[in-house]
Amino acid sequence: MSASATAAPAPPKVLRVPEHTVEIVSDSGEGAQKCGQIFAAVSAKMGNGVWTVELIPAEIQPPPRVPEGASGNRIRVGENAVTNWGDRTDLVIAFNEQVLLARHRVDALADDALLLIEDKWARSEDPDIVAQWEAALKELSSKHYRIIPVAMEDECLTIVDNPRKGKNMFALGMLARIYGRDMELIKAQIAYAFRKKSEEVYTQNVALLELGFHWAEDNIDIRVEIPTHASDKPLVVMNGNEAIAMGSIASGMELCAMYPITPATSVSHLLSEVFERFGGIVHQAEDEIAAVGVAIGASYAGKVAFTITSGPGMALKTEFLGLAVMTETPLVLVNVQRGGPSTGLPTKVEQSDMLAALYGQTGDSPHIVMAPATIEECFHIMITARRLAETFRTLVMVLSDANLATGVSPYPTPTLDEAWQAAPLDLAPVKEGQKAYGWNKETGLSERIIPGRPGGMFTLTGLAHDDRSKVAYSSDIHQHSSAMRSRKMAVLQSLLVPPTVYGDASGDLLVVGWGSTKGAIEEAVDRARKEGLKVSSLHLRFLSPLEPGLKDIFKRFKKVMTVEINYSDEPDDPYITEENRRRGQLSILLRNATLVDVDCWGRVPGEPLRPMSIVEAIRGRVPRGGAK
Residue 362 makes contact with other proteins by CB under 8 A:
no
Query: In the set 32, 77, 249, 614, which binds other proteins (CB under 8 A)?
Result: 249
Distance of closest approach, residue 443 Cβ to other proteins, in angstroms: 7
Instruction: Report how far residue 38's alpha carbon sits from residue 181's, in angstroms, rounded to the nearest whole number.
Output: 11
Distance of closest approach, residue 256 Cβ to other proteins, in angstroms: 11
Smaller CB separation from other proteins, 203 or 459: 459
Residue 277 makes contact with other proteins by CB under 8 A:
yes
Query: In the set 16, 123, 431, 555, which binds other proteins (CB under 8 A)?
Result: 431
Smaller CB separation from other proteins, 431 or 555: 431
* Residue span binding other proteins (CB under 8 A) among the ranges 66-74, 260-268, 381-389, 514-522: 381-389
* Residue span binding other proteins (CB under 8 A) among the ranges 169-177, 279-287, 502-510, 517-525: 279-287
Residues 262, 413, 542, 602, CA torsion sign: negative
Instruction: Report how far residue 385's alpha carbon sits from residue 373's, in angstroms, rounded to the nearest whole number.
Output: 14
Distance of closest approach, residue 582 Cβ to other proteins, in angstroms: 30
Question: Which H or E element spans position 149?
Answer: strand 146-150
Q: What is the DSSP letter of 471?
A: B
Contact between 117 and 94 under an 8 Å Cβ cutoff? The reply is yes
* Residue span binding other proteins (CB under 8 A) among the ranges 125-133, 201-209, 290-298, 308-316: 290-298
Site for other proteins (CB under 8 A): how many residues?
101
Smaller CB separation from other proteins, 246 or 560: 246
Query: In the set 158, 162, 497, 628, which binds other proteins (CB under 8 A)?
Result: 497
Instruction: Report how far residue 503's alpha carbon sits from residue 435's, in angstroms, rounded to the nearest whole number.
Output: 49
Phi, psi for 260 (deg, rounded to 5): -60, 130
Q: How far is CA 228 from CA 77, 182, 206, 239, 262, in A?
A: 10, 12, 25, 22, 35
Instruction: Report how far residue 293's alpha carbon sits from residue 298's, in angstroms, rounded to the nearest whole number.
Output: 9
Smaller CB separation from other proteins, 290 or 477: 290
Q: How many residues does the chain have?
A: 628
Smaller CB separation from other proteins, 367 or 534: 367
Instruction: Report how far residue 401's alpha carbon sits from residue 520's, in angstroms, rounded to the nearest whole number.
Output: 15
Q: Write out the binding residues for other proteins, residues 92-131 only, by CB under 8 A.
A: none
Residue 272 makes contact with other proteins by CB under 8 A:
no
Smaller CB separation from other proteins, 442 or 572: 442
The long-range contacts involving 33-36, CB below 8 angstroms and separated by at least 24 positions, are 33/71, 33/72, 33/73, 34/168, 34/193, 35/73, 35/93, 35/168, 35/169, 35/171, 35/172, 35/175, 36/72, 36/73, 36/74, 36/75
Contact between 375 and 48 under an 8 Å Cβ cutoff? The reply is no
Residue 413 makes contact with other proteins by CB under 8 A:
yes
Nearest one of 375, 371, 390 to 488, comparing CA atoms: 390
Query: In the set 184, 418, 572, 579, which binds other proteins (CB under 8 A)?
Result: 418
Q: Write out the binding residues for other proteins, residues 547-576 only, by CB under 8 A.
A: 547
Contact between 98 and 118 under an 8 Å Cβ cutoff? The reply is no
Residue 194 makes contact with other proteins by CB under 8 A:
no
Residue 462 makes contact with other proteins by CB under 8 A:
yes
Distance of closest approach, residue 430 Cβ to other proteins, in angstroms: 9
Query: In the set 157, 191, 281, 612, which binds other proteins (CB under 8 A)?
Result: 281
Question: 3-class SS at 423?
Answer: coil
Residue 444 CB burial class (10 angstroms; 0-12, 13-18, ≥19): buried
Residue 244 makes contact with other proteins by CB under 8 A:
no
Smaller CB separation from other proteins, 391 or 506: 391
Query: In the set 194, 202, 278, 567, which binds other proteins (CB under 8 A)?
Result: 278
Residue 148 pairs with which residues in a beta bridge? 116
Q: Tell me, rounded to whole angstroms, the distance of Cα 469 from its chain centroid.
A: 40
Residue 274 makes contact with other proteins by CB under 8 A:
yes
Residue 238 makes contact with other proteins by CB under 8 A:
yes
Residue 279 makes contact with other proteins by CB under 8 A:
yes
Furthest-apart CA atoms within the chain: distance in Å: 92
Distance of closest approach, residue 455 Cβ to other proteins, in angstroms: 7
Query: In the set 303, 393, 518, 610, which binds other proteins (CB under 8 A)?
Result: 303
Query: In the set 271, 295, 538, 589, which binds other proteins (CB under 8 A)?
Result: 295
Distance of closest approach, residue 459 Cβ to other proteins, in angstroms: 3
Q: Write out the binding residues for other proteins, residues 438-457 only, by CB under 8 A.
A: 443, 445, 451-457
Question: 3-class SS at 557?
Answer: strand
Residue 414 makes contact with other proteins by CB under 8 A:
yes
Instruction: Report how far residue 512's alpha carbon sits from residue 535's, in angstroms, rounded to the nearest whole number.
Output: 11
Q: Write out the binding residues for other proteins, residues 518-537 only, by CB under 8 A.
A: none
| Three state DSSP letters for 64-107 | CCCHHHCEEEEEEEECCCCCCCCCCEEEEEECCHHHHHHHHHCC
Query: In the set 23, 24, 39, 45, which binds other proteins (CB under 8 A)?
Result: 45
Residue 237 makes contact with other proteins by CB under 8 A:
yes
Q: Please state whether beta strands 19-26 and 222-225 pair in parallel, antiparallel, or not at all (unpaired).
A: unpaired
Contact between 501 and 554 under an 8 Å Cβ cutoff? The reply is no
Contact between 166 and 160 under an 8 Å Cβ cutoff? The reply is yes
Contact between 317 and 308 under an 8 Å Cβ cutoff? The reply is no
Query: In the set 24, 35, 38, 41, which binds other proteins (CB under 8 A)?
Result: 41
Smaller CB separation from other proteins, 192 or 620: 192
Distance of closest approach, residue 87 Cβ to other proteins, in angstroms: 25
Smaller CB separation from other proteins, 47 or 605: 47
Query: In the set 234, 341, 363, 549, which binds other proteins (CB under 8 A)?
Result: 234
Distance of closest approach, residue 168 Cβ to other proteins, in angstroms: 21
Q: Please state whether beta strands 19-26 and 71-78 pair in parallel, antiparallel, or not at all (unpaired).
A: antiparallel
Residues 603, 608, 609, 610, CA torsion sign: negative
Query: In the set 66, 460, 464, 477, which binds other proteins (CB under 8 A)?
Result: 460
Contact between 329 and 462 under an 8 Å Cβ cutoff? The reply is no
Instruction: Report how far residue 530's alpha carbon sits from residue 527's, in angstroms, rounded to the nearest whole number.
Output: 5
Residue 539 makes contact with other proteins by CB under 8 A:
no
* Residue span binding other proteins (CB under 8 A) among the ranges 14-22, 119-127, 161-169, 302-310: 302-310
Q: What is the DSSP letter of 254?
A: -
Distance of closest approach, residue 503 Cβ to other proteins, in angstroms: 16
Smaller CB separation from other proteins, 293 or 611: 293
Residue 505 makes contact with other proteins by CB under 8 A:
no
Query: In the set 428, 483, 505, 595, which binds other proteins (CB under 8 A)?
Result: 428
